[in-house]
Amino acid sequence: MFFQQTVFQSKHFIVCVCIIVVYIASLFNGNIRSDMALKPDSLFHISELPRLSSYVWVHSGFFHLFFNVLSLWAPLAEFERTNGTFHTALVLSILATAVAIPYCLLGSLFFPNTVVLGASGWVFSLISYFSYVNSLSHRTVKLFNSWEVPTLSIPFIFMLTVFLMVPNSSLIGHFLGIVTGFLLAKGWFINLTVLPFGLMEKIEARLSGLIDHLPGIFNYVRESSVKSSRYQYSSTALPLYTQDENLSSRPLRLSTDESSHEDNAGPFIGTGHVLGSNI
């Protein structure tokens, strides 16, 4: 069951809609894909630096788009609900860039002509993030109610499954997405995603009039409502994990081995498609 209370969180809804809009636009203008896709040499040219974050918005085809949006929907909604809309926007930007930089460094050495695009890096990052959180209270998990595997292995199982099903998917890109998701869960990006001096709340206060007039179907999660409870998780869990009613709600402490409450992870279907050798 998907998150019934979070399917219309503001940021995740806008992200998915924007991905779809960009795809539709690319059908009428083929240059959009080539102009936004990530090339290994993008890191080394100032004019190409926007590609470090733009590649996540473009997709190679309908099924690439469909599976990424479907896979991103639930975990991104849950992340936004528990961490705030503004914070989620910063996190997505950091994750995209954190995957792109090492990809360019590796690509310039080993696959200089391979171009990548798609939001599956975000999908893998969120899967590994929630897998790490759940591993603090559930060292193992039953996959398809049959096989018990280490919780931390879930992202890697999905990565290999996708690679076998879609051989031209970006194995390196997916792996880097997993690594950045674990780093996010460990708190490595906190200084980049939590603005100092209460800037998030000040910005939201200035924009409160606009936020208050958002349509009722959108739920903007303010920083003030989540900053004191960030990294605490509700009893809501995605199908990948079983629920343990004996676990009490406890915060995730990034510097210790404290456990979180329930298992929160996303159903993974997405592919990080490799566009081809040349654009």
Instruction: Give catalytic residues, as residue numbers.
Output: 120, 174
Which token pair is 107? 């690509």
Number of Cβ within a 10 Å radius of residue 142: 13
In angstroms, the Cα distances linking 191 to 81, 178, 194 are: 20, 20, 6
Phi and psi angles of residue 213, each rounded to the nearest 5 degrees, phi first: -100, 10
Alpha-carbon span 128 to 150, nearest angstrom: 12
Identity of the residue numbered 174: H
Number of Cβ within a 10 Å radius of residue 257: 6
Alpha-carbon span 163 to 167, nearest angstrom: 5
For the CA atoms of 262, 263, 266, 269, the dihedral, rounded to the nearest 10 degrees, stands at -150
For residue 147, the surrounding DSSP H or E stretch is strand 147-150
Cβ atoms of 51 and 38 within 8 Å: the answer is yes
| Sign of the dihedral defined by the CA atoms of residues 37, 88, 105, 167, in that order | negative
Which residues contact residue 44 at a Cβ distance below 8 angstroms, ignoring those fewer than 6 apart?
104, 108
